[in-house]
Every structure is written in C-alpha cells, then in structure tokens.
A and B are shown apart, each in its own frame.
Chain A
C-alpha cells in the first residue's frame, strides 16, 4: 500500500512499518529517553505525569530531532547536520548517546537495506552520526520520504520514555497505549512542522532548523550518566 506525500509521489506503508517497529533491532530498548532520571526525581510518577513528560519532550528536543531526520532524508549534508545536532545538544552524555544509537541504527539499517551511501557513512564516520540523521538516511535507503522519517522520529521521542516507564513504574500498558493514541495528533503536528523546517533549511541553510530545548532533560542526563546502578543506559 502506498501513502501520498507532499510531493505527490508515494512511499511504501509496509516499509515504513518495518522502520517504525519497536522490534527493529537498533538498540533503543536499553534507553529510556530521560524517563529513568525523571522517575527518580519524582517528575514522572503516574500515567498523567508521563503524558506531560512526553508532550514536553516531543515539542522541544523531539521537534529538533524530527526536523533533523526529515532534513537527512531529503539529502541535506549529513556531516553539517551532525554539527547542527551537536550545537543543539549541550549535554556531552546525550551527545555520546545520540552517536551510539546512531551507530547501532546504522548497523541495523545496512543489514536491512543494503545501500552504498550507508556503507560510505559507516567508513567515513566510524564513531557514528547522531541517531536522527541515520534515521533519515535509513528511511531514504528504504525508499521512504522525509515525511516518513519525521513521523518515525517523532514517534520514537515519546515511545521510548513510555515503554521505559512501563518497566520502571509498572504503568498499566493499556494506559500507556492510550497516552500514545492521545498524543497522535500532536505527533502529526510536530511531524508537519519538522518537514516544513527541513524545507526551509534546504532553501536557507541549516540554521533554519528549530532550536527548541528542554534544559532539564540535559541536566538530568548528565546526572543519570554518573549513577552506579541504573536499568537504562540513558
């Protein structure tokens, strides 16, 4: 089945599901998207506060990463985008995590969609690129469009803390699915904004990408990285 895109061409819906599937083996399961630190600080205690946390993450750093994924999928230079993500990620641990997840996604993507440009990236950047950039390039290798890459990126922004919170707090999994469904219109809205800014970035340069941030997530991440005992890597 094919979906329509802004450009009027179509991409495979089934292929999009392969990339978006939580079982796609790209290392995400070991990361909580900031949820573990937030749970310990009492910032997430139940389904309601989990939903607020997700909404905040989605509209700040989520929007940035989603726009970067869209930009990478549309062919904007990956190395420039990598600098742009660095500049938008003050926390050194979050930058390291972003690259680690990027390396792991690149491994999975190369195995799934053999592609010379992905191979080249692996050789040129053995230490990895930030995850949303790889996501955009993987989407392109899979024949998907920037809208698709952005949708997956936005979804991951909230899905990661939600599945971590299920394990950390025993949040009712049905309630968790309800949160995802309630957030769906906002996910679509963020995806649309991200696609627009990636189009602006094509015309005016990457400074046109969004710069919204959540300082608390960055601070929490630095603290979380020092823990001796934790369930999630980030």
Chain B
C-alpha cells in the first residue's frame, strides 16, 4: 500500500513531519469512526492482545474531555506514561487530517520518552463518516462502525467506509436485538471496498479482537519487510 514505500526512499528534504521519522520509529495505526462505535474498546482490546510481546503506546483525541485516555488508564491496558490525550478544539477531524501537528508532537514525545516502540494506536475523536486520517500522521487506518447504528452505513459509504485499510463492523452480538442484517452489511461493504478487508467483531467476547490483532501484526510485518 501507499505508505510502505516511503521508508525505502531517501527524504527529499529534512524537516517535514514524515521525514523526521527515524528508521526505527513505530508503526502508527489510526482508528476512526462515529462516536460510540467501539474505537476505545478496540484500542483497549488490541493493547491487551498485543501487549505481551510488543511495545505499545496510545494517543487519544477526545472531543472535550480526557475520558478515553482516562478509561484506558483505568483499565490498565498500558502504563499511564504510554497514553497521551490530544485536545482538538471542537474539530476532531482537523486534528487527524488538516492540522496534525499536535498529534505528531504527542507521538514524538511518546517515542522519545519511552524507549523504542513497535506500534502506536491513534484514536480519533468520534466524528462523522467523512473523517479520515492524514497519510502524514498514520501508516494505516481502521474505520470502526457498529451494527447498532443502522445496517445501512456500509451502503452509504463515505471515505472512512470505502478507503480505510480495514473496516471493522463491531457489536455483532447486538445484531439480533436491533434487527441488523449482517449479510447485507457484508455485501454492501464488499461493493464499496472491493478487495479491502472487512471484519465483523464483538468485543463482548473475550476472543473478539483476535482477527483485528492478527491484521495489526501483519501490518507490522509488512512494514519491517520494507524497512530492511
């Protein structure tokens, strides 16, 4: 994919956000999607699943509190110094796309203070279906939607649904209570995304994150192949 090549080519000039990244800087995965779809729950589950053999950190972009960061700290998925909250000035999509400076600074601070990291998860403040991450901020992005917000979201599309490197359709344990048609969602997602992967998850189950965690490991593997 687009981003894995950049590490192989020398930077055209020093100073731009991407080019200040060292060879050994961590892989960055962004998690976007509407409020309440399960982004923080996904981050927490990913940390629990990958924590054992990987050095992880998290950046949250809450809209007007530090709740996501505090939830993650309370859940003790990572030590507090590995979790940073960025403030977004009522515009969460601006902070992950149009003006990524505060997020980049948070990432660099995490990398410089905690020794080398393998993976940094950047959670966006819940936003609308058009909010996607800048290529200058993350290497890959996951878009998280859920079955309870209506099964027509994949059909409606939008940049998050159609272009994210991974689409996660979460809370499938609730599908039968809200009358969501998972098969139709899968077909619509396929129509919007072609070959790009889609995963159905329930984080109510203990093994609910496994497939997504596997995908994250694969991203790390892909990247290390391109950096040697």
Contact-size category for A: 20 to 34
Q: How many Å lie between the Cα of A32 and that of B87 in the bound state?
A: 12
Question: Quick one: given A29-B89, A30-B87, A230-B64, are A119 and B101 in contact (CB under 8 Å)?
Answer: no
**Complex contact A118–B102 (CB within 8 A):** no
B62 to chain A, nearest CB (A): 9
**Complex contact B89–A107 (CB within 8 A):** no
Q: How many Å lie between the Cα of A108 and that of B16 in the bound state?
A: 7
When distances are taken between beta carbons in the complex, the residues of chain B under 8 Å from A32 are 89
A 96-120 to B, binary, CB cutoff 8 A, 1 in contact else 0: 0000100110011011001000110
When distances are taken between beta carbons in the complex, the residues of chain B under 8 Å from A125 are none
When distances are taken between beta carbons in the complex, the residues of chain A under 8 Å from B63 are 231
A212 to chain B, nearest CB (A): 27
When distances are taken between beta carbons in the complex, the residues of chain B under 8 Å from A203 are none
B225 touches A (CB below 8 Å): no
**Complex contact A233–B89 (CB within 8 A):** yes
Q: Which residue of B lies closest to A163 (CB)?
A: B89
When distances are taken between beta carbons in the complex, the residues of chain A under 8 Å from B19 are 111
A 188-231 contacts with B by CB, 8 A:
228-231
Q: Which residue of A lies closest to B88 (CB)?
A: A30
Q: How many Å lie between the Cα of A10 and that of B66 in the bound state?
A: 47
Question: Quick one: given A31-B89, A118-B15, A230-B64, are A23 and B98 in contact (CB under 8 Å)?
Answer: yes
When distances are taken between beta carbons in the complex, the residues of chain B under 8 Å from A23 are 98-99
**Complex contact A114–B89 (CB within 8 A):** no
**Complex contact B16–A232 (CB within 8 A):** no
Contact-size category for B: 20 to 34
B13 touches A (CB below 8 Å): yes
**Complex contact A26–B89 (CB within 8 A):** no
**Complex contact B101–A104 (CB within 8 A):** yes
**Complex contact A232–B94 (CB within 8 A):** no
A139 touches B (CB below 8 Å): no
A178 touches B (CB below 8 Å): no
**Complex contact B91–A29 (CB within 8 A):** yes
Query: Between A and B, how many residue pairs show CB distances below 8 Å?
Result: 72
**Complex contact A229–B102 (CB within 8 A):** no
**Complex contact A231–B105 (CB within 8 A):** no
A164 touches B (CB below 8 Å): yes
B 59-81 contacts with A by CB, 8 A:
63-66
Q: How many Å lie between the Cα of A103 and that of B99 in the bound state?
A: 14
When distances are taken between beta carbons in the complex, the residues of chain A under 8 Å from B102 are 27, 30, 104, 233
**Complex contact B65–A228 (CB within 8 A):** yes
B3 touches A (CB below 8 Å): no
When distances are taken between beta carbons in the complex, the residues of chain B under 8 Å from A75 are none
B159 touches A (CB below 8 Å): no
Question: Quick one: given A29-B94, A30-B95, are A107 and B87 in contact (CB under 8 Å)?
Answer: no
A173 touches B (CB below 8 Å): no
Which of B13, B65, B86, B98 is within 8 Å of A25, CB to CB? B98
Q: How many Å lie between the Cα of A107 and that of B16 in the bound state?
A: 7
A 1-55 contacts with B by CB, 8 A:
23, 25-32
B 91-134 to A, binary, CB cutoff 8 A, 1 in contact else 0: 10011001111101100000000000000000000000000000
Q: Which residue of B lies closest to A104 (CB)?
A: B101
Question: Quick one: given A30-B87, A164-B89, are A108 and B101 in contact (CB under 8 Å)?
Answer: yes
Residue with the greatest number of chain A CB neighbours at <10 A, chosen from B64, B88, B89, B105: B89
Question: Quick one: given A25-B100, A29-B94, A30-B95, are A111 and B87 in contact (CB under 8 Å)?
Answer: no
> What are the nearest 3 A-B pairs in CB distance?
A110-B15, A30-B89, A111-B16
Which positions in B face A, CB cutoff 8 Å? Answer: 13-17, 19, 63-66, 86-91, 94-95, 98-102, 104-105
User: Please, could you name 21 A-B residue pairs with CB atoms under 8 Å apart, sorted by A?
Assistant: A26-B101, A27-B101, A27-B105, A29-B98, A30-B87, A30-B91, A30-B95, A30-B102, A104-B101, A107-B101, A107-B104, A108-B101, A111-B17, A111-B19, A167-B90, A167-B91, A228-B65, A232-B87, A232-B89, A232-B90, A233-B87
Given A29-B94, A29-B95, A118-B15, list of 19 further CB < 8 A pairs? A25-B99, A30-B89, A30-B91, A30-B95, A30-B102, A31-B89, A32-B89, A104-B101, A107-B101, A110-B15, A111-B16, A114-B13, A119-B15, A167-B89, A168-B90, A229-B64, A231-B64, A231-B90, A233-B89
